[in-house]
């Protein structure tokens, strides 16, 4: 960050970094909940890898957010000492795992959005944000492969797996519109050439999802009702239940290091 960045833009950048970091933390925590519960050993390790990747991304976003904010907050403070209303993740990320089909539906819908976002951010006018995104994009590419693989196999598998994959997709679909919403935070960064317009990611996402659903013999859910609000701290019930487990150690033993 150079000193030429004015304070309004700096504030927008902080919020944007927290939003992206919260996506990673909350999704990483959801995936971590699955460790030791997966259908087989191989997938158990795969899901642990995914969780760790997301938590790694979150640390990078938080560390930079803390530096931009300039109040001395580090990754731990941002992750563990904020309340539900301060979390700015997409509501999609906090949705419960449900069965394996529901989990993979959430992962696919997120991964198909996250990869083009990170790839666009690589060219950010903010070099540090670009660097963080470039590193994360490599892993996000694998994440998308992983979720596509499972959605296609389950959708194109047995009648049972197809029905459960479709049910998972139907459940998660109402949280997808928020992927493409933006407010004055994104607008400020778009104007500064630091981030892409969220709406510009939709066509890539639609193409990816459409292709996967075709291959998986799944229906595009028709439910027009959409639920968002996570970007401004208005969450679904699911996040409130997750945070106590995520945060209890720092809440109970403030400043604990290990």
Residues near other proteins (CB under 8 A) are 40-43, 45-46, 49, 142, 145-146, 149, 153, 157-158
Alpha helices (runs of H) in 1-121, residue ranges in sequence order: 7-32, 41-69, 75-80, 91-94, 100-121
CB of 105 to other proteins, least distance (A): 18
CB of 174 to other proteins, least distance (A): 29
Of 28 and 196, the one with the shorter C-beta distance to other proteins is 28
CB of 213 to other proteins, least distance (A): 18
Of 42 and 257, the one with the shorter C-beta distance to other proteins is 42
CB of 168 to other proteins, least distance (A): 19
Buried b (16+ CB within 10 A) or exposed e, 34-67: beeebeeeeeeebbbebbebbbebbbbbbbbbbe
Of 43 and 69, the one with the shorter C-beta distance to other proteins is 43
CB of 160 to other proteins, least distance (A): 10
Can you say how many angstroms the Cα of residue 91 is from the centroid of all Cα atoms in its chain? Answer: 9
Instruction: List Cβ neighbours of 54 (8 Å cut-off, separation of 6 or more).
Output: 24, 25, 27, 28, 31
Of 46 and 238, the one with the shorter C-beta distance to other proteins is 46
Of 142 and 180, the one with the shorter C-beta distance to other proteins is 142
Q: CA-to-CA distance for 57 and 134, rounded, in angstroms?
A: 11
Q: CA-to-CA distance for 64 and 74, rounded, in angstroms?
A: 9
């Amino acid at each position: 960050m150079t000193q030429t960045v004015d304070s309004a833009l700096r504030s927008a950048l902080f919020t944007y970094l927290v939003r992206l970091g919260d996506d990673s933390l909350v999704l990483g925590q959801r995936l971590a909940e699955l460790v030791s519960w997966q259908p087989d050993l191989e997938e158990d390790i795969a899901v642990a890898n995914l969780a760790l990747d997301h938590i790694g991304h979150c640390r990078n976003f938080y560390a930079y957010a803390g530096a931009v904010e300039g109040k001395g907050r580090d990754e731990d403070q941002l992750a563990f000492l904020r309340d539900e209303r301060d979390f700015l993740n997409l509501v999609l990320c906090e949705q419960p795992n449900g069965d394996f089909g529901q989990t993979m539906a959430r992962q696919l819908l997120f991964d198909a959005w996250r990869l083009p976002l990170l790839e666009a951010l690589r060219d950010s006018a903010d070099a540090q944000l670009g660097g963080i995104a470039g590193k994360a994009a490599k892993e996000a590419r694998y994440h998308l492969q992983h979720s596509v693989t499972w959605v296609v196999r389950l959708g194109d598998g047995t009648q049972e797996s197809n029905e459960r994959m479709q049910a998972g997709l139907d459940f998660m679909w109402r949280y997808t519109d928020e992927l493409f919403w933006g407010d004055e935070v994104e607008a400020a960064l778009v104007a500064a050439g630091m981030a892409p317009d969220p709406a510009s990611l939709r066509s890539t996402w639609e193409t990816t999802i459409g292709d996967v659903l075709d291959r998986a013999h799944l229906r595009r859910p028709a439910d027009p009702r959409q639920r968002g609000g996570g970007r401004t701290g208005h969450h679904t019930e699911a996040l409130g239940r997750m945070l106590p487990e995520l945060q209890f150690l720092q809440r109970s033993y403030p400043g604990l290091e290990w």
